[in-house]
Structure 1
Amino acid sequence: MSRFRFRLKRPFVGNRIFHFDLKGAAPKVAYFKEMFAFLKTIGATGILIEWEDMFPYEGILADVRNGNAYTKKEIATILNWAVEYELDIIPLVQTFGHLEWILKLEKFAKYRQVERYPQVICLADDEAVDLVKTALNQVLAVHREFPMPFFHIGADEAFQVRLGDLIEPVVWNYAENLDDQLYPDMWERFGTVFPFIWGASAFKGADGPSRFYSNVPHYLANHRSWISQMTTAYKSFKQFRGLILTGWQRFDHFAILCELLPVGLMSAAINFITIKKGHYDRSVLREASTLMDCSNTIDIDAQGIAGYCNFPGSKVYQEVQQLKSALDQTNENVHKDYQVRGWLTPFNIKHNYSQAWYLDQLLDKVNMHITDLEAIAQALRKDMEPIFFADTIDEFLFEYLEPGLKELHVLREGAIRLGATKYFGLRPFKINSILEQRKEEKKVLESGARMPPANVGDRETRR
């Protein structure tokens, strides 16, 4: 624990903003109220809300709406709750890049900067610019009914187009040691153009696109380094506005889900408290444990597991940590098992060739791990349902639980079938290697035959 200990002379009094990334695992409306109460408790001063395709766009943009998109009435309810909990509201609409949610559609593909890539819009096209303005205006029309001190327009490229008098840049960095990337002269150069500046750290969703479980030490190190940077960087500006603590749900619009909101809240609590105090020591863990009503003090070296806690979605948090542990145990106890690696390989299963003596020892172990994963799946589905739409639950389980469960069922069925086999064939066996299959596929392609098209599923609306 001592490697994380550091202290500044006074608390950090700037903006401390919590990022809602709604391009993945957007929560149901009621969960926002629980979240806002929690954020106020841990020291957040505002929210950055990235609506993306969850906003109820109209007119030419109506087709980009997610099937689960909020209604205007629901958005008003969400924003009213934010005001109730005295949280500043900063809407985010991407304007230069990160526009996959619009440019992925065939009708808008003509506005891409590069036809092959749907990320960046062509600002030399007047119609494309009007499209972005339409998105901005529709979001502004809803948000102007509520306090809105800032509006985030993305626009990484704004430094290149000399907008220093109009915008305030955000420096994003999620590394554990910012000194390796953010040098003092960088801040000085920014200071010659911009009087105000922001920093952006991460409390989740920035540690690999398929990281679905909590990694508190990584994010704590990132915030420790941000405190160190801000301590000196502020001198180059009229004001260092504050820090946006980002929490990506996907790395981009096309990526799979990473950490869900409840999974990141223990990290959020620890890091918001750390930033507010301006230092980290054991008192941060004690305070976070108290605020989250944990039965034990948080141990970040145990990946944040702290007995029973009570915060918005805490059951989902615990079950996801259990899933990670169960998958690790399955890998260690089954896939690396002596019997599996010698007598229940794909070769054994395909050619019905194995030794029942070893399979009998293995089957109970496989069944135990199947039971564990099925119980976790049932619990996750039950506890995620009040928070998330059905498609989020399905996607999360499909991506992170079902592959492991499927592998176990393949082993189980193979062990049962092979264990019942009394008579076996003679070697050698005919083996169709993957290389031979690829040769056959190449012949088909060279003959001019067309491969069957991929199916495009119908959109589901929220349930």
Structure 2
Amino acid sequence: MFDSANVHRLIHIDLKGAPPRISYFEKLIPLLVSHGATGLLLEYEDTFPFHGKVAHLRTKNAYTPADITKLHSIANDYNIIIIPLIQTFGHFEFVLKHDENRMLREIDLYPNALCPTHPDSFPLLAILIEQMMELHQNDSYLHIGADEVWHLGRCPRCQDFIDSQKMSTSDLFLTWLLKVTRWIKKSYPGLNLIMWDDMIRSIPLEKLKSGRLGDVVEPMIWQYHARKFDLPEGMFERYAAVFNGLWIASAFKGATGSTQFLPPIQHHINNHMMWLATIAEHKQQFKKLKGIAFTGWQRYDHYAVLCELLPVSIPSLCLCMRVIMEESFTEADHQIVSQKLGFSSLINVSPFPRPQVIEQGMNFPGHKIYIGVQMWSNFVCKYHAISNSEGMLGWFSDYMRARNFTNPVQVESIMNPINDLQQNLLELRNHMTSWMLEVYFEDTIEEWLGCFIDPLLDKLKNILEDCKKQILIGGRVRDYKKMDF
């Protein structure tokens, strides 16, 4: 079903806000290939080296043209393909957040979707695609995104267009999609186009056929659930009747919560098992299967916080690839992948609830970050345990502290574990800074620490300051009747 000769296994690398150093790819790509990967699906957003009129889209630590050339060189050494991904409709925040491009929003307040009827939308998009293809001119595929186009057809210009053409919002979507894909196919003959499928799932067969959409693009059907997929009836049959090829997309991280920090691996294993069952159920339609993309979202969108870091998710990815390669998941599969990644025991596929014993012996690229995030999650659990302890709730509540009515004996019993936890977190912060520098640029490290470790350190600091204050006061008020209730 997923034989190397006919079906690609793409690893989706979501680069927005957390681009790994190219030196990390030099270590990562050989590992991915050894587990069955045949390609990378690179979602750049603002990490691409845009220039000229669109240089303002480029983030501080965007890749350089030399970086992308180097990445292609590494991929060529290991005989894998690279597919760049550029959004062309929805999830356009990295463009529309800028004041220079605000007029192209579908709704002025929201930077999510590009207005398809604004006269400047297509020229801007054409520049982005041209610049991307300059650095990907030898690649055979381009992924054009096109998922989750929220607020479609809501601006006055679009509404007037819809009314004048007597069309629906789905017609408007197809009109833009065909305009973009036909231009790309004409400009880059031989280039194969892929799109996310969610916006066309419920479009009738006749409409899909009438625009000859199947001549210009192939859908990538994404589903990240661990149970039976909730998809429109007859969708696979419609797709098979329209398109020359089909792709599917599973998830190995970034699909179970916008603030998730450790992937629930069993969920992702089950997601891949469900894909195997779905393909078996629709085997006639999936004779056109071109490949699978193992998606690994780094943020839920451009404005969301970082979720599971890529190195933290390598065990999940390798186990999921094993499921697809073997079309099953057995204890032997579990053991083989664990040993290949250097684990001294089986990879823990159920990392929650925390705290849990931290795994040992792994040696895959970025494994120190994997250890560090588990340490942090255990410390968070320790903090919650202290915060909900009898000592905190019974003798050191906000109410009692505000009235300086505390017992130094109880305060000291609270202060000691809080102080220990603070020291542990400060030590971990130093280690994570060093470990993450091997993989990421400084701004990614600053964000991760600022979102996860530093807020907890601030809470601990405030509690310790309150403890010291209460000890200094030292029981000057002993009669609760004298309190100013």
Structure-2-length-normalised TM-score: 0.82
Give the Å deviation of 1:351: 2.7
Q: Does 1:315 align with 2:306?
A: no
Match of 1:150 among 141, 145, 149: 141
**Match for residue 168 of structure 2?**
none
**Match for residue 424 of structure 1?**
477
Q: Does 1:171 align with 2:226?
A: no
Structure 2 CA distance for aligned equivalents of residues 90 and 302 of structure 1: 32
Q: Does 1:273 align with 2:322?
A: yes
**Match for residue 350 of structure 1?**
402
Q: Does 1:227 align with 2:283?
A: no
Matched residue SS, 1:252: coil
Give the Å deviation of 1:390: 0.9
> 1:227/1:237 Cα in 2 relative to 1: closer, same or farther (>3 Å)?
closer
Give the Å deviation of 1:189: 2.0
Structure 2 CA distance for aligned equivalents of residues 131 and 96 of structure 1: 12
Does the 8 A contact of 2:252 with 2:263 survive in 1?
Answer: no
- Aligned-residue CA RMSD in angstroms? 1.9
**Following superposition of structure 1 onto structure 2, how do residues 8-23 of structure 1 map, counting pairs within 5 Å?**
13=4, 14-23=7-16
**Match for residue 26 of structure 1?**
19
Q: Does 1:366 align with 2:418?
A: yes
Match of 2:44 among 45, 48, 51: 51
> 1:220/1:238 Cα in 2 relative to 1: closer, same or farther (>3 Å)?
closer
Structure 2 CA distance for aligned equivalents of residues 387 and 173 of structure 1: 29
Structure 2 CA distance for aligned equivalents of residues 214 and 127 of structure 1: 41
Give the Å deviation of 1:413: 1.5
**Following superposition of structure 1 onto structure 2, how do residues 188-199 of structure 1 map, counting pairs within 5 Å?**
188-199=237-248
Structure 2 CA distance for aligned equivalents of residues 406 and 264 of structure 1: 28
> 1:238/1:216 Cα in 2 relative to 1: closer, same or farther (>3 Å)?
closer
**Match for residue 391 of structure 1?**
443
> 1:85/1:337 Cα in 2 relative to 1: closer, same or farther (>3 Å)?
same
> 1:189/1:316 Cα in 2 relative to 1: closer, same or farther (>3 Å)?
same
Matched residue SS, 2:278: helix
Does the 8 A contact of 1:16 with 1:46 survive in 2?
Answer: yes
> 1:297/1:238 Cα in 2 relative to 1: closer, same or farther (>3 Å)?
closer
Structure 1 CA distance for aligned equivalents of residues 96 and 482 of structure 2: 56
Matched residue SS, 1:214: coil
One-letter identity of the residue aligned with 1:429: D
> 1:232/1:184 Cα in 2 relative to 1: closer, same or farther (>3 Å)?
farther
Structure 1 CA distance for aligned equivalents of residues 362 and 473 of structure 2: 50
Structure 1 CA distance for aligned equivalents of residues 332 and 3 of structure 2: 16
Does the 8 A contact of 1:344 with 1:414 survive in 2?
Answer: no
Structure 2 CA distance for aligned equivalents of residues 108 and 427 of structure 1: 63
**Match for residue 290 of structure 1?**
339
Q: Deviations over 1:392-441 (max 9, x none)?
A: 111111111122222122111211210221312865537xxxxxxxxxxx
**Match for residue 161 of structure 2?**
none
Give the Å deviation of 1:232: 2.6
**Match for residue 236 of structure 2?**
187
Give the Å deviation of 1:261: 0.7
> 1:65/1:302 Cα in 2 relative to 1: closer, same or farther (>3 Å)?
closer
**Match for residue 458 of structure 1?**
none
Seq. identity, %: 31
Structure 1 CA distance for aligned equivalents of residues 102 and 270 of structure 2: 41
Give the Å deviation of 1:96: 1.1
Give the Å deviation of 1:182: 2.9
Q: Deviations over 1:109-134 (max 9, x none)?
A: 00111111111111212311111111
Does the 8 A contact of 1:17 with 1:47 survive in 2?
Answer: yes
One-letter identity of the residue aligned with 1:370: Q
Does the 8 A contact of 2:264 with 2:351 survive in 1?
Answer: no
For CA contacts below 8 A with separation 6 or more, give which structure has more relative contact order.
Answer: 1
Q: Mean Cα displacement is larger for which, 15-24 or 405-414?
A: 405-414
Match of 1:102 among 95, 104, 121: 95
**Match for residue 204 of structure 1?**
253
> 1:139/1:180 Cα in 2 relative to 1: closer, same or farther (>3 Å)?
closer
Structure 2 CA distance for aligned equivalents of residues 286 and 274 of structure 1: 13
Structure 2 CA distance for aligned equivalents of residues 234 and 165 of structure 1: 22
Q: Does 1:37 align with 2:87?
A: no
Give the Å deviation of 1:234: 3.7
Matched residue SS, 1:401: helix
> 1:11/1:108 Cα in 2 relative to 1: closer, same or farther (>3 Å)?
closer
Q: Mean Cα displacement is larger for which, 22-31 or 245-254?
A: 22-31
Structure 2 CA distance for aligned equivalents of residues 421 and 49 of structure 1: 59
Q: Does 1:405 align with 2:457?
A: yes
Does the 8 A contact of 2:223 with 2:229 survive in 1?
Answer: no
Structure 2 CA distance for aligned equivalents of residues 248 and 112 of structure 1: 24
Where structure 2 has 5 or more consecutive residues not aligned to the other structure, the ranges are: 148-172, 178-199
**Following superposition of structure 1 onto structure 2, how do residues 438-449 of structure 1 map, counting pairs within 5 Å?**
none
Structure 2 CA distance for aligned equivalents of residues 352 and 314 of structure 1: 46
Structure 1 CA distance for aligned equivalents of residues 403 and 455 of structure 2: 23
Where structure 1 has 5 or more consecutive residues not aligned to the other structure, the ranges are: 1-9, 431-463
Does the 8 A contact of 2:359 with 2:371 survive in 1?
Answer: no
Give the Å deviation of 1:11: 5.8
Does the 8 A contact of 2:259 with 2:305 survive in 1?
Answer: yes
